[in-house]
Amino acid sequence: MELKREQQVNRGVRKCRTREEEPNATAAPIVEIVVRVVLLVVLVVKVVVVVVVVVVVAVVVVVVVVVVVLVVVAFALVVAVVVVVVVLVVVVVLGVAVVVVAVVVVVVVVVVVVVVVVVVVVTVIVVVVVVIVVVAVVVVVVVVVVVEVVVVVVVLLVIVYQVQAFVVEQG
């Protein structure tokens, strides 16, 4: 009888202890869940920042390519105009013979063709370099975003699991 009573007292003491320890026991999962939610928010912000940076870089690259192409084309046009003006001045001022005019016209045509070929080659090289850079950046960004999304999903699943476990413990 004495032993039975002592066991009941011990059980009661154990129950009291677990009830007293409950707030501390439930605080740890809540803190863990909050930490995971904060981590999830940080990861989402990181993904958004990466995407914004890639878009800005892509826009800057496109603007630089357009400016370079326009500068090269403008240079080609200036050279062609200067050559034509020089030819016209020579023809008008000197009143040269038709054979000389024909030779000058051939030279002008050759210079214009060379300038146009240079413009086309420079444009193609710039476009190829830009395409290579953009493809490399896109590949890196896709890999980073995929990894970040996987991490976000895993963290979200862990949060859901912890919340479920916490609800089961409390309920």
In a domain, 4, yes or no: no
Coil, helix or strand at residue 95:
coil
pLDDT tens-digit profile of 60-109? 877 887 787 788 778 877 877 887 777 777 777 776 666 676 777 777 77
Query: For residue 78, is it within any domain?
Result: yes
SS3 1: coil
pLDDT band at 37 (very low <50, low <70, confident <90, very high): confident
Residue 142 lies in a domain: yes
Residue 19 included in any domain: no
**Predicted TM-score (pTM) of this structure:** 0.49
Domain that holds residue 91: 41-170
Question: Is 87 inside a domain boundary?
Answer: yes
Q: What count of other Cβ atoms lies within 10 Å of the Cβ of residue 66? A: 11
How many domains, in total, are found in the chain? 1
In a domain, 29, yes or no: no
Q: Is residue 11 part of a domain?
A: no
Q: Is residue 48 part of a domain?
A: yes
Write down the pLDDT at residue 56. Answer: 83
